[in-house]
Amino acid sequence: MIWIACKDISDKDHITAESLVPPHISTFKVPEDNPLTEAKINLGKRLFNDPSLSLDSTISCASCHKVDLAFADSLSITPGIHGNLGDRNPPSLLNAAYLTRINKDGGVAKLDIQALVPIEDENEMGISIITLIDRLQANPVYNQLFSSAYGSNVNGYNLPRALASYVRTLTSFDSPYDDYIKGDLTALSSSALRGRALFFSERLNCASCHSGELLTNQSFENNGLYVDYPDLGRALITLDTTDIGKFRVPSLRNVALTAPYMFDGSLYSLEEVLDHYQHNLSGHANQSQLLKSFELNDSEVQNLIAFLKSLTGDKARRGAY
């Protein structure tokens, strides 16, 4: 097997980040060494949906990141090869192009290498990249697609970069909330508007973590889920005990489509999540100082959920990707 990373030959049809997001949203950065092209995106989409990327050819990226669930899953933990279970709930991939650190513990520095993690993880796709490249090189269709996209044979350098190119196109900024912030004051129901006021209030302090266009500040926080964490989270990467139980603050865009919630999928509804923040904080030593004690009445719970539902994009709702 030969690994070659040739010069990108598709300069003529570069796709800009600006073309993938509406004017009211800031654009994400595309790596200079992996500009977006139709050929790369099409290759990445084919790879994303191909179960032959797993050891026994039963699991694709799409097995855990389902298009009709905002590229998340309805299971707490999605089984990998041989029914193996990992430790974490699959996150939504929508707007992943904006992430500053990848994976829930931030252990991957950039999107262009992230796919190597699930591909080689024994509980997910379970195949070595060397074995996978040998397999794909035997497929003439992939040889042609890689040649068109990268001017190279199938290789382990460009495979995750092609997948990243496809994932960068998965943007979602067409929700009722987007219509509202663009100036359509009728886009949100009266209940959602009351929920919005609660969300951004000092009383609840939700926006201290869930801020900005993505409704995440991209920090790592311990949100008091457990007294003892079976998964150490960010501490697995930093080896710092003060990071135990800290995970990347998720975007709340399309959150109504991505249950169950928390890093391990242990809360099954938005109502359970709100109940956790009101009544079930563990008081772990690393629990975020940004969390405030509050009580919501039934009407306020429903208003806040109405606001969270207004964050669902139209394309995400229809699975139109």
| Integer Cα distance of 251 and 242 in angstroms | 23
Q: How confident is the model at residue 244 (pLDDT cuts 50, 70, 90)?
A: very high
SS3 150: helix
Please name the residue ranges forming H helices in 9-107: 38-48, 61-64
What sign for the dihedral angle of Cα 46, 168, 114, 84? negative
Please name the residue ranges forming H helices in 103-188: 111-114, 116-120, 129-137, 140-150, 158-168, 176-181
Average pLDDT, the chain: 95
Backbone phi and psi for residue 14, each to the nearest 5 degrees, phi listed first: -60, 140
* Residue 19 reports pLDDT greater than 90: yes
* Residue 8 reports pLDDT greater than 70: no
Fold match flag (11-168 vs 176-318): yes
Q: Where are the domains of the chain?
A: 11-168, 176-318
Classify domain 11-168 at the CATH class level: mainly alpha
Record the pTM. Answer: 0.94
Q: How confident is the model at residue 317 (pLDDT cuts 50, 70, 90)?
A: very high
Q: How confident is the model at residue 308 (pLDDT cuts 50, 70, 90)?
A: very high
pLDDT digits (tens, 9 = 90+) for 168-201: 999 999 999 999 999 999 999 999 999 999 999 9
Nearest to 81 by CA among 122, 113, 45, 135: 122
Provide the CATH number for the domain formed by 176-318 in this structure. Answer: 1.10.760.10
Q: Are 289 and 208 in contact (CB under 8 A)?
A: no
| Integer Cα distance of 285 and 305 in angstroms | 29
